[in-house]
Structure 1
């Protein structure tokens, strides 16, 4: 296996002395971060592990949680760039070798992917990315014999990226065929704009307790039609921003803030938030004056919700239970069901979804949502409201699923949303009065400030 057109450079192997090797993380700064990135990239692409779970600050993968703050930020940036552009990265790698990498060389490909993500998409010196990739290969017995190949391939990639990357990007699809075909079928007029925006890293939106204009001025952001404050992409962790420790705001995509705002009234009412963790919508409900019971089936996620409520200063009841097992003889004035879904509306911020979910999951999860909705309807008091929502962009998990529910439950109906409630988001209100957002909404000259997650929401009441 040699580099295409690389002469003998790709054939050299590095000599290795037979001596005790020190811990590689002690030998070279930054190596542990690259090793963690390769390990987690493998977990996503080969084992369909959720990136959110792997990068959880407390319960995440030890290779990540054991790093310092700056290295964690670097690992996150590498993984998001690698997953967002993985098809292009793989095509570039494959173009630089005259024979395909061996099927068994999965660990080698992850090293190359991590190096390529830095060279092609991150503001990291090419020399440092190459050097650390070679050290990473050299420290792994599975890859040690390929250290010369890693060196030659990534050095050539760095030299040729200005001309080759645009050529490969122009002919390599960014998204799986199943995703694009379903998207075009459902969003014929907006599909190209949606796909274009999905290729851009998302902004960071904040839900603020009060004074959105003031927080926008202090943090250098803008106020959105949802009332959220959008701050673009900060350099450091948001936990270091003014207002975080004081609980003045929390991170929540603008589209995700809509479902909790869809209730007609919340002050003083008893509201159940099913599938509540990590608690962004729970906090909104509490802020509006509701008496909230937050439920989740994951003890770790529920503990995270409790921590978030403590930071924000909200007092909510919590229940460790599956939503479909929740029993409430007296019912609730309102129920919010933000149901588990394929999350295809959030691929801008969660590009791992393309490697952890597929079309079969959409059909399976639509049935899960229907079962949850059937149960949630039984928890609502006669004059109450049931808000159903999820972050799938696929109508099979939204409009179509709800239409099936209404056909089987003639006592229920859609309570239409008034577009006047969200000036600037009128296009997100469907003819039936549902909410449907997608990444081509909220256009902005700066792509870093444009777009919304794909979200579906509907208010259901008894006739």
Structure 2
């Protein structure tokens, strides 16, 4: 077969990565991440392993994730810049547009020198409009392009939240998306490691603005704390202290299980995902806390006997965690919210029957959608006369957070904003009649 060149049958992505120059594979992974979120509707974290499969170094994976997250954080503003420098708008899914988003996010948000930002994305459009990408980027850099101090939310999201909560909430959400939030830690005991630093917004809590990588922080190896947004820590706090038997339903990755165990409860942590429960087991081992870990679908499982407390942090759209996971702004649709609400109603209907008379149920979602919060509790109370709201008291909460008139908590963008904000959450505590 002399003189015949055999076709290279390796996957194109692998051939490309082997030919890429320095820095390009991380940008190629960022492009895959954006495609996974914007075209296929995947969560950013769930898509990372596949998108970054060719990256061997942790810092390259982190860079790919950071680039994609920053693009998603400022997508409408990046697209407005691109459209201002083209004669005709590029299609939304055009590779040239995605490459320009990646280059601009690096230059305008991550501090990458412009020559490095453009040189590492041009290989992403090999066989495509390289001159267009180079020309648009160069035009914007010569103009001194900048992004607005307050980002623009996707219009569909802004309109949905404006209808539910008003314009002030939308403005606060736009301010909140401008930068990643601070790091919150929940302490196993009220005493923090002496050199941990940070500020406490409530006993058993630390908030760090600037910090080293999490595994390098004081007390990590000793299991003195775990990462948990202050809003996410409130549902377990509202259960109170043990002893007694408690179920943490949809428990993974386990922050609330750790809280309940540390508060003296005998905890059964139930979740359908074995891989996520593995993280919970790792955290139990690191902190020296104990819980029964059960890998089951809550719709097919029930405890052997009634329990004293149930914490249901239900699967939801997760729109409340958009500060840390900006992909939810672009992949969560009304249909997804409706599907989540149906599942939440089914889970609530099962969980209430697991409580003994006088027992406590805390229902929570990290969602900013009324269908996943207020509407669920209104529906439950209308159908179950043996349950009533147990109002949240001011002394149970951090300064700056207060209960709604109905006795539940609705945490919106703008809540404790001066102290660094918190995730969006709905939390209701109910008591079963004795």
What TM-score results when the alignment is normalised by the length of structure 1?
A: 0.85
The answer on whether the counterparts of 1:333 and 1:384 sit within 8 Å (CA) in structure 2 is yes
Q: Residue by residue, what CA displacement relative to the aligned partner does 1:107-134 show, whole Å, maximum 9, x if unpaired?
A: 3332222112111211211111111112
Aligned to 1:231: 208
Shift of 1:400: 2.0
- Distance in 2 separating the partners of 1:264 and 1:240: 31
User: Of residues 405, 413, 421 in structure 2, which corresponds to 1:451?
Assistant: 421
Secondary structure of the equivalent of 2:195? helix
- Distance in 2 separating the partners of 1:401 and 1:207: 28
Shift of 1:23: 5.5
2:179 counterpart of 1:204: no
The answer on whether the counterparts of 1:276 and 1:282 sit within 8 Å (CA) in structure 2 is yes
Aligned to 1:131: 119
User: Of residues 152, 157, 168 in structure 2, which corresponds to 1:179?
Assistant: 157
The answer on whether the counterparts of 2:249 and 2:313 sit within 8 Å (CA) in structure 1 is yes
How many aligned residue pairs are there? 421
- Distance in 1 separating the partners of 2:139 and 2:107: 11
Matches within 5 A, 1:39-188: 39-55=32-48, 60-61=49-50, 63-64=52-53, 66-101=55-90, 106-138=94-126, 144-162=127-145, 165-166=147-148, 174-188=152-166
The answer on whether the counterparts of 2:248 and 2:311 sit within 8 Å (CA) in structure 1 is yes
Aligned to 2:3: none
Q: Residue by residue, what CA displacement relative to the aligned partner does 1:260-281 show, whole Å, maximum 9, x if unpaired?
A: 0101432x31111111111111
Secondary structure of the equivalent of 1:324? coil
- Distance in 2 separating the partners of 1:70 and 1:428: 41
The answer on whether the counterparts of 1:344 and 1:392 sit within 8 Å (CA) in structure 2 is yes
Shift of 1:430: 1.2
- Distance in 2 separating the partners of 1:399 and 1:130: 47
2:416 counterpart of 1:432: no
Q: Residue by residue, what CA displacement relative to the aligned partner does 1:383-442 show, whole Å, maximum 9, x if unpaired?
A: 2111100111122211122011100111111111111222514x4311222122122121
- Distance in 1 separating the partners of 2:153 and 2:187: 34
Secondary structure of the equivalent of 2:76? helix
- Relative to structure 1, the CA distance from residue 24 to residue 71 in structure 2 (aligned partners, 3 Å threshold; closer, same or farther) is same
- Relative to structure 1, the CA distance from residue 332 to residue 241 in structure 2 (aligned partners, 3 Å threshold; closer, same or farther) is same
Shift of 1:243: 1.9
User: Of residues 304, 308, 311 in structure 2, which corresponds to 1:329?
Assistant: 304
- Distance in 2 separating the partners of 1:278 and 1:256: 12
RMSD after superposition: 2.4
Shift of 1:211: 4.2
Shift of 1:226: 6.2
The answer on whether the counterparts of 2:33 and 2:51 sit within 8 Å (CA) in structure 1 is no
Matches within 5 A, 1:398-413: 398-413=373-388
- Relative to structure 1, the CA distance from residue 127 to residue 226 in structure 2 (aligned partners, 3 Å threshold; closer, same or farther) is farther
The answer on whether the counterparts of 1:174 and 1:199 sit within 8 Å (CA) in structure 2 is no
Secondary structure of the equivalent of 1:182? helix
The answer on whether the counterparts of 2:248 and 2:310 sit within 8 Å (CA) in structure 1 is yes
What TM-score results when the alignment is normalised by the length of structure 2?
A: 0.90
Q: Residue by residue, what CA displacement relative to the aligned partner does 1:165-190 show, whole Å, maximum 9, x if unpaired?
A: 44xx88xx722333223323333374
Q: Residue by residue, what CA displacement relative to the aligned partner does 1:134-177 show, whole Å, maximum 9, x if unpaired?
A: 23333xxxxx2322222222222223244x644xx88xx72233
- Relative to structure 1, the CA distance from residue 412 to residue 195 in structure 2 (aligned partners, 3 Å threshold; closer, same or farther) is same
The answer on whether the counterparts of 1:178 and 1:359 sit within 8 Å (CA) in structure 2 is no
- Relative to structure 1, the CA distance from residue 365 to residue 23 in structure 2 (aligned partners, 3 Å threshold; closer, same or farther) is closer
Q: Unaligned regions of 5+ residues in structure 1, if any?
A: 1-18, 139-143
Secondary structure of the equivalent of 2:264? coil
